[in-house]
A and B are shown apart, each in its own frame.
Chain A
């Protein structure tokens, strides 16, 4: 059938807008009379502002106002007003609240002027005097202050020990122990955070914000500025990447809305690349493992400790130590999770938060144990394979990880690997082959969607979700078109508008499952109505058919067993006498069924690196990854999701590191020349295999989500390949050449 789109490689429906420059991002909605806000950032990490003087800036013609803690409007200041949907326990940051400095680059003033050039210059004229207080930003130095958090974010699961790890270690024949560190990382989406607030003559605000959830931003400004849903709408039709940075409303939104309301003018605030290092980040983490295995290589004990940084004002928590008790069969597990408060901004979920951190270390430790036991690393993982989730003691809704291992290993040629380190080379380059397992949650959340079919046969489906590059526009269009049997061109999916039916934050790899289920369900409601109308048409060939006996395809409703007998949807609409069919639904996950199963996406990653023996430079030359992610809605965009994740894994393993200069308490490499991300030449051919996986539990579509799985196993696979190449076990990420030498 020509209207079967699910599972077919389909070009992005928003592709034309993106390749022609027509797609408008948050900082690109130009309106007459727009003014520009430039943020002044704190030079110190902790202390107080004793004096702030904007008089020189205000003298310039065209400078409208300089907002500071001294002249900001009076606002509600309760913590609850500043809540958001991704908030850790604690007291959220309130921009311009008072003179206290809590982190370096804290926004301390907003200069608003008629042009960007003027605002930027005027910002340089604001004089600030501080009283410094001692700051602590060195996680390693003050890890002694670590404490176990009593509560965490809603998604946080308190680590649960099982069995007796000390005894397990004692019984083990093969043992390893080690410490694994990784640096803080910043999301650095290519589009910098921006908000354009359009001040309508009526006083209504139309806000374009860089966010992973328009409802989140809308509620945030409503609570703070007392704006109803109608007084301020938030829009984000295009987002230039986010990777987690848009999960919480960032301070440019607050500042732009505040300035627009005060000045009764339209205001845009765009952060600089430097300021992109002034809010959330993946927290630096110190991990320690003790692992033991018996003579056959069976895991007997897993001791996993993690210490992560958080801010002074919030307890940001990730599920880190939980993963080591989840991936393989082991009866004795002892997880410990602790936080250290630093004078930095609160960390923030960044692509596969916790999972990428844990697996980057754990899968290296597992490799070490495999070597200690003299067992091939892939074989070792198969020995410890589990058919039941050991953490929750539940069966899996589906788990085709074995197929991932097999197919990826075969494609990679793993059986040709010589196990001894430094045993493979190409001239001056040492060759290393490494592998690792990846795992991520397959979740579904509640969501709403609306479908509107009009008399011209065009369908518009909407939900206040996002497309941060994930392909949401495209896969939702495919789902809607196939469900109603309409050609793709007749279907439009709309998102990123707070007046649309609500959807959760776009994150956690749950959007395809969550919004996809809502879209499908809304379209099924439209189907029902169409079927009713079809049956009551004069001389309807479907008058006696029942709903299960018909199919919606190719723009028609026809009998399942007699495809030639049917009616066109256009005719049904014409005869129905209605000019539109509109259905809005709320879809909830089937919790009763889902909670009986453990639901995960899995992957296997195989990597080849070449290491220059003299220079210590590491190049990833080949990656094969197989993913078991349930049903694949669109192999084209799905592959891109995984490619992106693998590229992030390369960055995490070899390049990305936000360096804190403890003298100033500031991330010192705060630009794209000094903070290295993978560039084109760093990325080799990446072979992505989707193994077949049928899952009837995760959600009605059987999809598991792919946004995060690509990054999870990759860093460890690279680190393991570097060991195989060089014989040097590197436990600190990123693996830069100074560490290799």
Chain B
């Protein structure tokens, strides 16, 4: 129990707000310009300014992986990057994977198709992040066993608990990908 007392929450002094500026991002092969405050995260830029809501926000703190996108082919948490930091890079989101990917009849990336086939999701909210993360993971080339995959996918939380199916889907794609030297 706490004592009876008056507390004042001191708010910081009003800062002069930095001006918004035009930033050009290359997303899924397209150049898109947007006017944003400099502290806008890549995640909010995608979701709120470019209407690319496939990339999800699950925590905004780098703790869940829902916001995983590929920047120059490497997986990152879009909530931990500012949009202005990546204006000279190639950003790939879940919406862009279909274009990048190969030949399923409906144009899905093999990882997307494998996720459907293995029922590797339930609510689907972690799914774009899982898929981007999995694509990044296979590119990294460090996953040699099922346990490796599990370890290297542990930054992507699935609250629905689809993990065993997620690993099945990734293994499936891994086993079918052409050997890279």
Contacts and interface: CB of A to CB of B under 8 A. Distances in A.
- The answer to whether A and B interact is yes
Interface of A: 11-12, 14-25, 27-28, 30, 43-44, 50, 56, 59-61, 115-118, 121, 124-136, 188-192, 238-243, 270, 272-273, 468-471, 636-637, 639-641, 643-648, 662-665, 671-673, 677-683, 685-686
B52 to A, nearest CB: 7
Given A134-B4, A241-B122, A644 B61 contact: no
B4 to A, nearest CB: 6
B114 to A, nearest CB: 9
B166 interface: yes
Contacts of B127: 18-19
B6 interface: yes
A309 B112 CA distance: 44
Greatest chain A CB density within 10 A among B57, B60, B122, B158 is at: B122
A130 B55 CA distance: 39
A44 B7 contact: yes
B116 A16 contact: yes
Contacts of A190: 56, 58, 64, 66, 123, 125-126, 157-160
Given A14-B124, A20-B112, A190-B125, A128 B9 contact: yes
A136 B1 CA distance: 6
Nearest to B48: A116
B159 to A, nearest CB: 5
A647 B163 contact: yes
B131 interface: yes
B119 A18 contact: no
Given A116-B44, A677-B159, A681-B147, A191 B165 contact: no
A132 B2 contact: yes
A681 B3 contact: no
A679 B154 contact: yes
Interface residues of B, number: 76
Contacts of A242: 123
Contacts of A22: 54
Contact of A56 (B11, B17, B55, B162): B11
B48 A43 contact: no
Given A469-B124, A680-B163, 6 more contacts: A11-B119, A16-B116, A23-B124, A60-B14, A60-B17, A125-B12
A28 B165 contact: no
Given A132-B2, A241-B125, A637 B61 contact: no
A414 to B, nearest CB: 21
A19 B115 contact: yes
B119 A21 contact: no
Given A135-B2, A241-B160, A680 B150 contact: yes
Closest 7 CB pairs of A and B: A21-B54, A647-B161, A240-B125, A469-B122, A18-B124, A469-B123, A644-B161
B164 A686 contact: yes
B117 interface: yes
26 contacts: A12-B119, A15-B115, A16-B108, A19-B112, A20-B112, A23-B124, A43-B7, A117-B37, A117-B40, A136-B1, A190-B160, A191-B125, A272-B60, A640-B160, A643-B164, A647-B163, A648-B161, A662-B1, A678-B163, A680-B151, A680-B154, A681-B151, A681-B154, A682-B154, A683-B161, A683-B164
Nearest to A683: B163
B98 interface: yes
Contacts of A643: 161-165
A43 B47 contact: no
A19 B108 contact: yes
B131 A19 contact: yes
Given A190-B58, A240-B124, A126 B11 contact: yes
B11 A124 contact: yes
A122 B114 CA distance: 44
A133 B4 contact: yes
Contact of A20 (B17, B37, B98, B126): B98
A44 B6 CA distance: 11
B24 interface: no
A12 B151 CA distance: 27
Interface string B1-34: 1111111111110100100000000000000000
B77 interface: no
Greatest chain B CB density within 10 A among A11, A134, A273, A645 is at: A273
Interface of B: 1-12, 14, 17, 36-37, 39-40, 44, 47-48, 51-61, 63-64, 66, 93-95, 97-98, 106, 108, 112-113, 115-117, 119, 121-128, 131, 147, 149-151, 153-167
A115 B5 contact: no
B54 A20 contact: yes
B166 A680 contact: yes
A238 B124 contact: yes
A470 B57 CA distance: 21
A30 B161 contact: no
B100 to A, nearest CB: 13
Contacts of B2: 132, 134-135, 663-665
Contact of A25 (B51, B125, B151, B155): B125
B116 to A, nearest CB: 4
Nearest to B14: A56
Contacts of A641: 122
A188 B160 CA distance: 10
B163 to A, nearest CB: 4
A128 B115 CA distance: 48
Contacts of A118: 17, 37
Contacts of B9: 43, 127-130
Nearest to B40: A117
A15 B47 CA distance: 21
Nearest to A663: B2
A12 B11 contact: no
A628 to B, nearest CB: 21
Nearest to A470: B122
A189 B53 CA distance: 18
Nearest to A194: B57
Contacts of B116: 11-12, 15-16, 19
Contacts of B158: 190, 680
A189 B125 contact: yes
A672 B58 contact: yes
A191 B123 contact: yes
B125 A680 contact: no
A547 to B, nearest CB: 37
Contacts of A270: 57
Given A647-B163, A680-B150, A468 B123 contact: yes
A644 B162 contact: yes
A81 to B, nearest CB: 31
Contacts of A135: 1-2
A270 B79 CA distance: 15
B36 to A, nearest CB: 8
Contact of B122 (A115, A272, A644): A644
Contacts of A24: 53
A680 B153 contact: yes
B82 to A, nearest CB: 11
